[in-house]
Amino acid sequence: MNEKPSLLSRASAEIVDLHRFFVDWFDRDSADRVDFSRFERVMGDGFCMVAPSGQVLDRKAVLDHIKASRATCDGDFAISIEDIRAGWQAGDTIVISYVEAQQRAGKHSRRRSSAVFTTSSSAPNGVEWRHLHETWLQMPEG
């Protein structure tokens, strides 16, 4: 019997994998080996993000920002994902919350995120990001 992984497990894997992509994309030593199209494929049409500052960014703004941030870290960037929790789910759509902890150049920050995912047969983990809302738990140290 070959059962498809649950929507929760696919979305959880996507969260972890996308943040691994960010670490590799931002790191100067690994950026040349990273395929940006992976990021483009998982950002669904109509995607929008509410940044921790409250700024609302559409799909194009997010793609442009990430693309421009390539190789901006010098081995001093790490992300860990904690406390992944399923929220509401109906059919092919799920809301997931998680905590993202970042370390960059010795400075630490934490944010709680809520993300909406829908199924997508063309996405690496079978889901695409539709909406993301991030809230500071710990502002970046100044």
Q: How far apart are CA 88 and CA 116, in angstroms?
A: 9
Burial of 59 (0-12, 13-18, 19+ CB in 10 A): middle
**pLDDT digits 0-9 by tens, 56-108:** 999 999 999 999 999 999 988 999 999 999 999 999 999 999 999 999 988 99
**pLDDT digits 0-9 by tens, 99-135:** 999 999 889 999 999 999 999 999 999 999 999 999 9
pTM > 0.75:
yes
- Do residues 99 and 113 make contact, with C-beta atoms less than 8 angstroms apart? yes
Residue type, 136: W
How many Cα atoms are found within 13 Å in the side-chain-facing hemisphere of 139?
3
